[in-house]
Amino acid sequence: MRLLHASLIISDLTVATQFYEETLGFQRDVRPDLGFIGVFYQLGGGQQLHLMQVDNPYQDCTRPAHGGRDHHLAFAVDDIQNLAEKLEKSGIDFTRSQSGRAAIFCRDPDGNVLEFSQVI
């Protein structure tokens, strides 16, 4: 068994793609017309991240302050410090893993939590 894709709800495709592409460096993949606005990103190994601009049923939910205590997607990175510096330059708040691992958590412009763990 393997993960094919994960989907996140976004409110503004332009703002979301700026974050995922310019800040994080994600690469777009081909996306068929699905009847709503969105984008696919290729993550490697046949895995994708799907961003969907649809109504958000969770909009009024209270979310934990630390992303590690919220539902989230985790990505492997080679250099956590480099990513932390990019996030700081972009004015994006993040927290470091409370377990002491080389990992950081941030939220995308819509509050979706992303974890980045350094994998050597």
Distance from C-alpha of 6 to C-alpha of 71, rounded to nearest angstrom = 12
Give the chain's end-to-end CA distance (angstroms, integer). Answer: 24
Q: State the alpha helices, DSSP H only, in the chain.
A: 13-17, 80-89
- pLDDT for 1 equals 79
β-bridge partners, 47: 44
Higher pLDDT, 102 or 66: 102
Check: pTM over 0.75? Answer yes or no.
Answer: yes
pLDDT band at 69 (very low <50, low <70, confident <90, very high): confident
| C-alpha to C-alpha distances, 94 to 11, 70, 97, nearest whole angstrom | 21, 13, 10
Residues 20, 21, 25, 29: is their CA dihedral positive or negative? positive
4 pLDDT exceeds 90?
yes
- For each of the domains in the chain, give its residue range(s) and CATH number, in order of start: 1-55 (3.10.180.10), 65-120 (3.10.180.10)
